[in-house]
Chain A
Amino acid sequence: MEFMGYVRENGRVGSRNHVAVIPSVNCANEVAKRIAAAVPNTRSLNHHQGCCELPPDLDRVTLSLTGLGMSPNVGAVLIVSLGCEGTDVDYMAQHIAETGKSVEVIRIQELGGTRVSIEKGTEIAQKLADKIAPIKRQAVDMSEAIMSIKCGASDATSGLASNVVIGYVADKIVDLGGTVVFGETTEFIGAEHILARRARTPEVGRKIYEIVERMENRAKSLGCDMRKGQPTPGNIAGGLSSIEEKSLGAIVKSGTKPIEGVLEYTDVISNQKGLWIKDTPGREIETLTGMAISGAQAMCFSTGRGAPQGFPTMPVLKICGNPHTFARLSEDMDVNAGRIITGEKSIEEVGEEAFERFVRVLSGEKTHCEELEYYNSIDIYTLGPVI
């Protein structure tokens, strides 16, 4: 089985062919945003990090932005630096360029301010867009597919319908030789023993317990009950009473295959195949970003209450488990898994539909988030304080 993708110089395959405009620090966001708005097929990756953080977090931000630039969905990169940030712009430019794509850098303080940087940046972004425009899609084997997974705004239907459907798709991608990444370590709490049993090696199993313990300790560090933070008020209103209940429903979206290993948040997938965990929090924006850093070409996103957000450089396909939500938010939701709850369709039927839709998205079909252009923010998961 094949999909139509953009084969990059380093052999990796993208589902999109964007110019990415990457601010090296949040202070460069506005310039990046205006440049991207002026040039078709160009996306800015506006975030809130890159300065006045402890060195391990600054390294995380540098690695994260580098990974986002390396994504095979990105054909060329313009880095917008302010000039005094804590991130390492040279590192980003060098490592992104190693993938074979064009990388340009502008520095706002050096160029003489906002207006001139927008003008110069727009000129460069236009040249980059012209340069990558002739790249054509080619047929590639499904084993090149990298699917990421997330659930958000979950309710009681998520664990019984939409997550089950995504698990079905995940199993198919793994069977076809592809790669699947899931995360949200917070939502392993209470279900880690089930995941650990699926670990390829005892060491991977231990690592799963370790990341869950680390996350739970972070949650406990303020001396309160985590409920309301996780599960969220929306989850609770949707019938989920505890993090354990949320987690047991959440892990279903990883399917049934063995877990090959655990990726750190900033890790980029090179040639790992099969099912992988990435250590991320449960919050949507940091998880989407972490999955895009991995190099995932597209995401299957499960929701019950209706989460509309997408990502600038990674298409996000919304699979909705709640039939009432699907009816209300039909412009935002892509696949109706609520028909499993009502008994109209089987898990296999909706699973096949979601799989076929996912393959079409890899080949260029737009998701609802892309049509709505709901993809203009990202954020990076950092661990320490802002100082």
Chain B
Amino acid sequence: MNPMALRCSDKDNVAVLFEENVTAGTDVDVRDKRGNTMVIKINEAIPYGHKLALAAIAKGEDIIKYGESIGIATRDIAPGDYVHIHNMDSKRGRGDWKE
């Protein structure tokens, strides 16, 4: 059985992986709330509870989880890429950004 990831909403372009020690090149079963599954090959190791991209996300585009924006891509992201603070940024609480 492939490692399992959950997609919270149909609008989401990321899913959360719930399996430990998953390495690059592994096929992951991405499940939605209705029980549908899509298979995505991950491009790099992703830790338990962390996110993988389900689609290509261009730099500056929103990262969507729970059907809502959780930030923006800081570089181009490919399907199967690990998505975390190295390639996405928060848009809120940014005292370091000029208005």
Name A residues whose Cβ lies closer than 8 Å to a Cβ of B.
155-157, 159-160, 189-191, 194, 216, 219-227, 230, 236, 238-239, 241-245, 248-249, 304, 322, 324, 341
Contacts and interface: CB of A to CB of B under 8 A. Distances in A.
Task: Tell which of B47, B69, B95 has the most Cβ of chain A within 10 Å.
Answer: B95
Contact of B49 (A155, A221, A224): A155
21 contacts: A160-B6, A190-B69, A190-B91, A224-B95, A225-B90, A225-B94, A225-B95, A226-B94, A227-B85, A238-B49, A241-B70, A241-B83, A241-B84, A241-B85, A242-B92, A243-B90, A243-B92, A244-B68, A245-B65, A304-B49, A324-B48
A48 B88 CA distance: 38
Contacts of A219: 93, 95
Contacts of A225: 90, 93-96
B44 to A, nearest CB: 15
Given A156-B50, A245-B71, 10 more contacts: A159-B66, A189-B93, A190-B70, A220-B93, A225-B95, A225-B96, A226-B92, A244-B68, A245-B70, A248-B66
A219 B85 CA distance: 19
B49 A189 contact: no
Contact of B96 (A224, A230, A236): A224
Interface string B52-92: 00000000000101101111000000000001110011111
A189 B16 CA distance: 21
B25 to A, nearest CB: 21
* Interface residue tally on B, bucketed by range: 20 to 34
B91 A244 contact: yes
Contacts of A160: 6, 8, 16
B69 A244 contact: yes
A221 B93 CA distance: 9
Given A157-B49, A224-B95, A244-B90, A190 B68 contact: yes
Nearest to A220: B95
Nearest to A251: B66
Interface of B: 6, 8, 16, 18, 20, 47-51, 63, 65-66, 68-71, 83-85, 88-96
A324 B83 CA distance: 22
A220 B90 contact: no
A212 B10 CA distance: 28
Nearest to B62: A244
Contacts of A230: 93
Given A216-B92, A227-B90, A241-B85, A322 B49 contact: yes
Task: Tell which of B18, B49, B51, B71 has the most Cβ of chain A within 10 Å.
Answer: B49
Task: Tell which of B18, B50, B85 has the most Cβ of chain A within 10 Å.
Answer: B18
Contacts of B96: 223-225
Nearest to A227: B90
A351 B63 CA distance: 30
A216 B93 CA distance: 6
B6 to A, nearest CB: 6
Contacts of B68: 190-191, 194, 244, 248
Contacts of A221: 95
Contacts of B66: 159, 248-249
Task: Tell which of B47, B85, B90 has the most Cβ of chain A within 10 Å.
Answer: B90
The 6 closest A-B pairs by CB, nearest first: A226-B93, A156-B49, A242-B90, A220-B95, A239-B49, A245-B70
Contacts of B90: 190, 225-227, 241-244
A249 B95 CA distance: 23
Contacts of A236: 84-85
A242 B89 contact: yes
B97 to A, nearest CB: 8
Contacts of B20: 324
A226 B70 contact: no
A249 B48 CA distance: 17
